Structure 1
Amino acid sequence: MRAVRSDPEAAWPPPISPDETDEERDTRLEQEREAKRVSDAIDLALNAERESKKKSVHGAKILLLGQAESGKSTILKNMQLHFSPTAFHAEAELWRPVIHLNLVRSANFILNLLSPRSSGTTSPTSNLLLDDTVRRLIFSLAPLKSVETSLTKRISGSAGTIDNQYKSNSIDNPYAHYNPAKAPEIAVRSGAGWKGLLKFRRQSGAVSSPEDMQNRRIINACADDIVTLWRNPDVQEKLRQEEIYLKDQPGFFLEDVERITKEDYLPTPDDVLRARVSTIGPEEHRIPMESSLENGNGKDWIVYDVGGDRSQRAAWAQFFDTVTVIIFLAPVSAFNQALAEDETVNRLADSMKLWRMICTNKLLASVDLILLLNKIDILDAQLKAGVQFSKYVTSYRDKPNETEAVSKYLLDMFTALHKQHSPSKKRKMHPHLTCAIDTKATAVVITHIQELILIKTLSQTNIL
């Protein structure tokens, strides 16, 4: 059970000041009315979603597993694009505030890193001598702080301040805790229905409120300065010194600023795949088959996207007894990274530990396992940049520091774990090397998954 916060500033509605003026009273009442409008809109969106689920008939149940930032949400969006392209494109506009928030967060992260108040485990930022250009950019881009707060409130329903959110580690906070090695990301609780809320606002004609338009105007006005900030040699040198690789992080749009800040911008499928919203807790998604050729029985797929953070893994087991297949994602590019929750644990080692746990579980003895060694494109870039795989995986020794050799080594390791720990010798493992943002290559993988599910369904009905 979630603890109730005792902080009086967190109470809603806030306590009425005995010295409240008429103007303050009007402001308070308007804030309360707006909060109720948002709450009612969320309730309506969730009720509509529940009614839709009641009417649909489900087919396969798919469980997406893997540590945080392994690419589960991107694979899910690929499935939605593959099987429900009309609905996917219709919802593209709903992702615009998320993409803008991803961009603004990255820019604010850099600004925060350059600030003398920046703190963390890394060396003081004051060591960097800021030239006049960078100082001007810090000043001119200051309005992005308020844009970030506004967009976060729009998506998550939280009105908390950005400074407090950077300092907090609570999962009740819609901001992930400040990590000096990466830009923070937006996080919403499972069942929050943020897309349903935005869809409701669009259908009710409230999708472009004055605040929304103001945010877009500010982002558009700041576009040139964001580009200048990102391309500044001193800024790039600072990021290298701190070993911060924003390009490799989900929700990276700093090289698309000119395009995505235009006032008539509409997200492309590729933009939606790259957009990042972290969900806290298990999330159920129903994927309707728009074409009868996609699914012979015309039933929806149910996909469970469960949190990969350590604190959320205990919730995985509740899905094991009803699942048709498990798709396990292991980000192979994470061989030189540590878990955000525990910097003493290597992410690749953690993925292998999770894989062994899945393979060993007797409840899953008859469940097909699909292994996606994901982010192969980032691995390739790392190795070509000179990062030595054997430095972090010592058992690799003196083998070639090349993508093909490294990926084969990793595939052999995961295959061996499945063979050694599987309770059933009959169960098959279906491995793939993937880049989840490559829609064409991922479509081939999804088609293979679809074929596996069809064969399993026919086998269970004694047709095969």
Structure 2
Amino acid sequence: MLPRRNVWPPPPTPPTSESEKLARLEAEREAKRVSNAIDDALAAEREQRKRPSNAKILLLGQAESGKSTILKNFQLYFAPKAFHTETEAWRPVIHLNLVRSVNFILGLLEIRHPSTYSGARPRKPSTPDNALSGQLRRLSISLAPLRQVEESLSNRIAGSRPIEEYTDSSEADRYHPAKASEISLRSGAGWTAFLRFRHGGSTSFDRTEKADSEDLQNRRILSACAGDIMTLWAAPEVQRGLKDREITLEEQSGFFLDEVQRICKEDYVPTSDDILRARVHTIGPEEHVIYMESAHETMRSWTVTSQRVAWAQFFDDVHVIIFLAPISGMCLADSLKLWRTICCNKLLISVQFILFLNKVDILTRKIKAGIRFADHVTSFRNKPNEPKEVIKYLSDAFATINQTYSPRKRKMHRHDTKATAVVIDDIREVILLNALSATNML
């Protein structure tokens, strides 16, 4: 049989109904919309490929200098969607911070002879340690369940490994004479390590269900104890006892005793400020990649590594080093020594430095309370005992070390306030310029 020949011209299209015509036009519009979306996505991908891939930043500073806080500030600023997806996962950490402060106070009440504890140098107590009021004895009993809550939260955050493996002290020294205890995570666990613990550290449904059940029980206990926690913190005997021992819990990381009523609610959801204040101590180097969520950012991502100064020489491929110096403690001998170490390191000769004088707010409160900076740093002499004068003096001291010990002249970028949007933008510009310069794009 011969193949059927095409008829030309083709027969006219039979007339269609109005509804069919509208349907065909709608299909054509949808096809065009999809085509345009694909074209836009391809164009965005081409632009993304043109952007430099990564900026490398190294955070350095002594313990509790604020490295984790500035890291969280970076994520909140550059990757807010990712930051907020982790909100609920921070709740156990914040609750643990709060509970450990409470248990620290209860532990002090139980200590009859504080001077027997290592490092304790208390003044003579205003009242004998064994003469607690009836109210404090009642609070000690009513808040006893918080010991169990602390253990539950610690095990959840530390995972399946025993908590002792993560801590630097024995159980006998659990309540440090001048500081509330904190949980420590090994390197690799990371600042958001507890995200996996929120899911039980496993894909097992039973494990997750158990973790959720324990979390609910802990929240109910905290809710029931909220009133007594506030009463304990406000008790004059407690405040006098802390003052006698020269302990200022308000200045310690992870302090939430000023937000008990809100944080102890069963339906509590952490705010961004709560997450920035939360404290998890990490041991060893930590590396975090922040993927820029704004299409207008030049760099695709930042790799931020938090490390001990002793290992800084092994990170000579970074674009910028951010050095955090906590100035709230008045005596900065350790920070100045660490700063001199990295300034004179020849392997870091091409790396730009950003100095961040941290915890200025605490320093300001101390000076306004009457503490004289010159009593702690004699070289300050008779300069005005004002926060601005002290900050300038310290900033100049770091700048002098940089000029004296750097193998070659190096510009130092200084910041002496908390990580506001303006400060982060300034830091961003320095990092961007150095990253582009290193990749020969400038």
Q: TM-score, normalised by structure 2?
A: 0.80
Matches within 5 A, 1:32-431: 58-116=53-111, 119-120=116-117, 121-123=120-122, 127-128=128-129, 129-157=131-159, 171=168, 178-192=175-189, 194-201=193-200, 206=208, 209-294=212-297, 296-297=298-299, 299-307=300-308, 313-319=309-315, 321-335=316-330, 346=331, 348-425=332-409, 427-431=410-414
Q: Secondary structure at the match of 1:209?
A: helix
Structure 1 unmatched ranges of 5 or more: 1-56, 308-312, 336-345
Can you list the C-alpha shifts for 1:249-286, whole angstroms capped at 9, x where unaligned?
11000010000010110000000000000000001100
Tell me how far 1:212 sits from its aligned partner: 1.5
Q: Distance in 1 between matches of 2:166 and 2:292?
A: 40
The structure that has the greater radius of gyration is 2
Q: Distance in 1 between matches of 2:394 and 2:384?
A: 13
Counterpart check, 1:458 vs 2:436: yes
Preserved contact between residue 174 and residue 187 of structure 1 (Cα < 8 Å): no
Distance in 2 of aligned mates of 1:175 and 1:331: 29
Shift of 1:374: 0.6
- Amino acid of the residue matched to residue 397 of structure 2? M
Change (3 A) 1:323 1:463: closer
Closer/same/farther in 2, CA of residues 116 and 159 from structure 1, 3 Å limit: farther
Structure 2 CA distance for aligned equivalents of residues 273 and 371 of structure 1: 20
* Letter of the structure 2 residue corresponding to residue 382 of structure 1: K
Q: 1:192 to 1:455 in 2, by over 3 A?
A: closer
Matched letter for residue 257 of structure 1: V
CA distance in 2, matches of 1:175, 1:379: 33
Deviations 1:298-356 (A, max 9, x none): x211000125xxxxx4333322x211100000011111xxxxxxxxxx5x110001111
Q: Which amino acid aligns with 1:431?
A: R
- Tell me, in whole angstroms, the C-alpha distance in 1 between the residues paired with 2:228 and 2:212: 25
Percent identity over the alignment is 56
Q: Tell me the distance in 2 between the aligned counterparts of 1:234 and 1:174.
A: 26
Q: Distance in 2 between matches of 1:77 and 1:108?
A: 27
1:420-441 deviations in Å (ceiling 9; x for gaps):
111111x2100000225xxxx2
| Secondary structure in structure 2 of the residue aligned to 1:253 | coil
Counterpart of 2:416, as a letter, is L
Work out the CA distance in 1 between the residues paired with 2:173 and 2:353.
Answer: 31
SS at structure 1 position matched to 2:329: helix
Is 1:175–1:185's contact at 8 Å kept on the other side of the alignment?
Answer: no
SS of residue paired to 1:67: coil
Which structure 2 segments of 5+ residues have no match?
A: 1-51
Alpha carbons of 1:175 and 1:448: their partners in 2 closer, same or farther (altered >3 Å)?
farther
Given the superposition, is the C-alpha separation of residues 204 and 266 from structure 1 closer, same or farther in structure 2, using an over 3 Å criterion? Answer: farther
Aligned in 2, Cα 1:175/1:183: closer, same or farther, shift over 3 Å?
farther
Cα distance, 1:376–1:275 mapped onto 2, change above 3 Å: same
User: For 2:213 and 2:175, how far apart are their aligned partners in 1?
Assistant: 30
